[in-house]
Amino acid sequence: MYLFSSILGVFVFDEESKLIDSMEFNDLGDYQNREEYTAKIKNKHKNLREPDEAAFKKILTHFKDKKYHTKFHEMNLAITKLGVKNSVNEDNLIIQSIKLIDELDKSINLLAKRLRDWYGLYNPEFSSSVHDHEKFVSEILDSSKDELLKKINVVRKDSMGADFEQENLEPVKSLAHRVHDLYQLRKSNLDYISSIMDVYCPNTKAVCDVILAAKLVEHAGSLKRLSLLPASTIQILGAEKALFRHMKTGAKSPKHGLIIGHSLMAATPMHLHGKLARALADKISIAAKVDYFQGQFIGDKLRKELEEKFK
């Protein structure tokens, strides 16, 4: 006798491929417990075996019956939905967060420039004295015009700024509040990515810092794919345009892609960048593999080796 199982249930056929017993699954739960059903039916019937090719063909014709079609469709849909549902993992969360950070940067930049321009009608001296957007936003939220002018040694009557009524100052302050909120959202998102990485890929995080690690995962598509990439690919990940230009026109090959953003790069003299990029990509490649296969934490060791070499 043959044992045959599919997404519909488990079935027993005799030597002539006639159905003699079956346990159909009623829902996804039954399907997920399919091992149990198989065990039960194996207890009931002795000498069950897998159908050979000829028997298999005959058995399949049995399922051409229309009564199975709807069930097939339903179960298939349910299983696919479950697959989609289960496919959401840390990779997706990291990728969404890092993309958001990128978009927040764009929005903040746009709105902070508008804020400077607008606030500049009221207090141009201060607007041009502070270059950092974030500092600018929090200072104008915290202090009055007179306090801010005092900081830069200007008295109000010397200021070129117009005297705004409260009603005209209100929209500027509201804008400043919203920009401030966006900065906060950016910070909390960074913390969030960081907390995911502490569990999901602590080694990669230790070697590259949060933002770069997230960008690498985003660019590779997932930690799994990042861990499978050779170090030489990691080295130029994000510099695809330059790479293809190199291949097509023989221009110089890119020394580094995303990893140019690593904090060690800025601290290393230009002529060592190529060397550092190779070493860095090596360590990232190791870290990502350890993370994916859930090895022990060696991130700080890897990072230290790098820092010693390039200090």
Cβ count within 10 A of residue 208:
29
> In the bound complex, what is the minimum distance in angstroms from residue 166's beta carbon to a copy of itself?
12
Structural tokens at position 267: 């601290």
**Which residues does 204 contact at the CB level (< 8 Å), separation at least 6?**
197, 213, 216, 217, 223, 226, 284, 287, 288, 291, 299
Structural tokens at position 93: 């969360």
Does 106 engage in binding with a copy of itself (CB under 8 A)? Answer: yes
Q: Which of 9, 161, 238, 299 binds a copy of itself (CB under 8 A)?
A: 161
Q: Which of 20, 128, 152, 171 binds a copy of itself (CB under 8 A)?
A: 171
Calpha distance 214→220 (Å, rounded): 10
84 vs 270, beta carbon nearer a copy of itself: 84
Does 160 engage in binding with a copy of itself (CB under 8 A)? Answer: yes
Tell me the three-class secondary structure of 124-153, residue by residue.
HHHHCCCCCHHHHHHHHHHCCHHHHHHHCC
| DSSP secondary structure, 145-181, as one string | HHHHHHHTT--GGG--S----HHHHHHHHHHHHHHHH
> In the bound complex, what is the minimum distance in angstroms from residue 45's beta carbon to a copy of itself?
33
> In the bound complex, what is the minimum distance in angstroms from residue 195's beta carbon to a copy of itself?
8
> In the bound complex, what is the minimum distance in angstroms from residue 256's beta carbon to a copy of itself?
28
Instruction: Select from 32-40, 59-67, 159-167, 224-232 the region that touches a copy of itself (CB under 8 A).
Output: 159-167
Does 32 engage in binding with a copy of itself (CB under 8 A)? Answer: no
Does 144 engage in binding with a copy of itself (CB under 8 A)? Answer: no
Question: Which stretches of the chain are DSSP H helices?
Answer: 28-32, 34-44, 53-62, 69-87, 90-122, 124-127, 133-142, 145-151, 166-200, 202-208, 210-220, 223-228, 231-236, 240-249, 263-267, 273-292, 299-309
- At 214, the amino acid letter reads A
Does 86 engage in binding with a copy of itself (CB under 8 A)? Answer: yes
Does 187 engage in binding with a copy of itself (CB under 8 A)? Answer: no
> In the bound complex, what is the minimum distance in angstroms from residue 117's beta carbon to a copy of itself?
7
Does 114 engage in binding with a copy of itself (CB under 8 A)? Answer: yes
Structural tokens at position 122: 């009221």
Note every long-range contact of 11-14, with CB atoms under 8 Å and residues 24 or more positions apart, other chains counting: 11/59, 12/41, 12/45, 12/48, 13/51, 13/55, 13/59, 13/62
**Binding flags for a copy of itself, 121-140, as an x/- string (CB under 8 A):** xx-x----------------
> In the bound complex, what is the minimum distance in angstroms from residue 129's beta carbon to a copy of itself?
16
182 vs 272, beta carbon nearer a copy of itself: 182
Calpha distance 111→119 (Å, rounded): 12
Instruction: Select from 94-102, 255-263, 279-287, 299-307 the region that touches a copy of itself (CB under 8 A).
Output: 94-102
Structural tokens at position 166: 């409260």
Q: Which of 54, 84, 266, 270 binds a copy of itself (CB under 8 A)?
A: 84
Does 182 engage in binding with a copy of itself (CB under 8 A)? Answer: yes
Does 198 engage in binding with a copy of itself (CB under 8 A)? Answer: no
Structural tokens at position 78: 């349910």
Does 175 engage in binding with a copy of itself (CB under 8 A)? Answer: yes
Give the binding site for a copy of itself (CB under 8 A).
Answer: 28, 78, 81, 84-86, 88, 92-93, 96-97, 99-100, 103-104, 106-107, 110-111, 114, 117-118, 121-122, 124, 157-163, 167-168, 170-171, 174-175, 178, 181-182, 185, 188-189, 192, 195
